[in-house]
Structure 1
Amino acid sequence: MGYEDFVYFILSEEDKSLEPGLEYWFKCIDLDGNGVLTPNELQFFYEEQLHRMECMAQETVLFEDVLCQIVDMIRPEECENPTLTEWDRFAHRECIRLSMEEDIEDASNGSGDIWDESFEAPF
């Protein structure tokens, strides 16, 4: 790592709320470099945190719950439909959650991968 890369890293680590810091960490998480964070990429990093939580005997949080929280936090533009009521948003999140639970059950029954590489969240 050169000096410029080191300075960029330190500044990005120090203030993750500024545009350069956000871009730096986004590039770190975007494993395939396509400019889109997929559930597979997020789950890759989640698995490491899950292992740490288990080692520290902390209560674990399901990946699906983390994913829903992330979507709720960033509110992708496709989700921001002003005509939707709070109930509509809740129903949409629950539909996604139940769908993910079914995918996990299918995967545990040997029916394939939980996430398709080309999957992008429908929201």
Structure 2
Amino acid sequence: MPFQPWIDIPRWLWGDVGPWLALAVVLAFVAVVLSPVMRRLGPEMQAWTGAYLAYLVAVIPPGSSLVRFLLLAFPLAAALVGWTRSRLWLAAVLVAGVGGQVWWVWTFWQLVPPTGWPP
């Protein structure tokens, strides 16, 4: 079922608030794709990113492999660079990225096979 895992898995992980969190993430990606920074990359890059993200939401369940699949949405990184005009914003993005990696590794260390399920 297309899109169904984006409702079921967040609900399983975080309860009734989970689907709303997933919706917030999807809406954030839509906002980035429709942003002026993405528009400056050209219609091809904007269309590719939007179509590829829609494909991922339709056919890939949210989980640990999604990070790897997002590598093909590389124009998102270009949009992020376009937003980092100030050094303060760039430092905040770098701190958030490093903090996210630490959280990701810590979460995987907590898994106890076979009952553990990667995020």
TM-score normalised per structure 1: 0.36
Q: Which has the larger radius of gyration?
A: 1
TM-score normalised per structure 2: 0.37
